[in-house]
Amino acid sequence: MLTSIYMIAITAEAMSGALAAGRRNMDLFGVALIAFLTALGGGTVRDILLGNFPVTWTQHPRYIYMTIAGGLMTIVIARFMRHLHQLFLVLDAIGLVAFTVIGCNVALKLGYDTVVVVMSGITTGIFGGILRDIMCNRTPQVLRHELYASVSLVVALLYLALLSHGVTENITLLAAFSVGLLLRMAAIHWKVSLPVFRYSQDRWD
């Protein structure tokens, strides 16, 4: 089940990457590369940080094809994005939760400390979007907009708390997805975001 959700998730993330590339007028190659990076970059950064070699996608070529196909397909359906907006936000939120849970699981299996497990989940959840924004030369959006990275944090903490209390994997997953999706949708609907830190002194230090 988590694998099917993962497929949906990487396709949604690949589309988000392709749209960002389109805003920078990139060529087909750029669109494919940014789609790939957005979808699989979070997991790649996680694998490298945890020393988890070989990196996941190098062992699953179909993930590579899916993200590139998702990116290029986006060019065709971009004109309908306005109508697909709601659906897209839901898919993106599903991706965020799925990536977070998978990231926690990878670090758990490698025996890392709990705080590292949480960071592994968050890294998997948000770093694809961060790499996308760095490649498109803009300040990472996930650190500024409605609750996004925070949803990943809540999902990771909830997931670990339930597992450590002996709740079954299935119920834990159900809870993680329910809470994560609700929280993200509520944040978008009511424009909830974390408090922002504004600082404007000139000197860089």
Question: Which of 9, 21, 106, 187 contacts its own copies by CB under 8 A?
Answer: 21
Binding status of residue 5 toward its own copies by CB under 8 A: no
What string marks each residue from 140 to 179 as x (binds its own copies by CB under 8 A) or -?
xx-xxx---xx--x--------------------------
Distance CA 184, CA 129 (A): 16
Binding status of residue 130 toward its own copies by CB under 8 A: yes
The nearest distance, CB 17 to its own copies, in angstroms, is 11
Question: Which of 1, 164, 170, 203 contacts its own copies by CB under 8 A?
Answer: 203
Task: Of 96, 89, 91, give the one whose Cα is nearest residue 188.
Answer: 89
Binding status of residue 138 toward its own copies by CB under 8 A: yes
The nearest distance, CB 168 to its own copies, in angstroms, is 28
User: CA geometry: angle at 98 spanning 69 and 70, to 5°?
Assistant: 10
Binding status of residue 55 toward its own copies by CB under 8 A: yes
The nearest distance, CB 170 to its own copies, in angstroms, is 29
Specify the DSSP class assigned to residue 198: -
What phi and psi values does residue 189 have, to the nearest 5 degrees?
-65, -45
Retrieve residue 22's tokens.
């389109």
Q: Are 101 and 162 in contact (CB under 8 A)?
A: no
Q: Are 118 and 59 in contact (CB under 8 A)?
A: no
What string marks each residue from 24 to 53 as x (binds its own copies by CB under 8 A) or -?
xxxxxxxx-xx---------x---xxxx-x
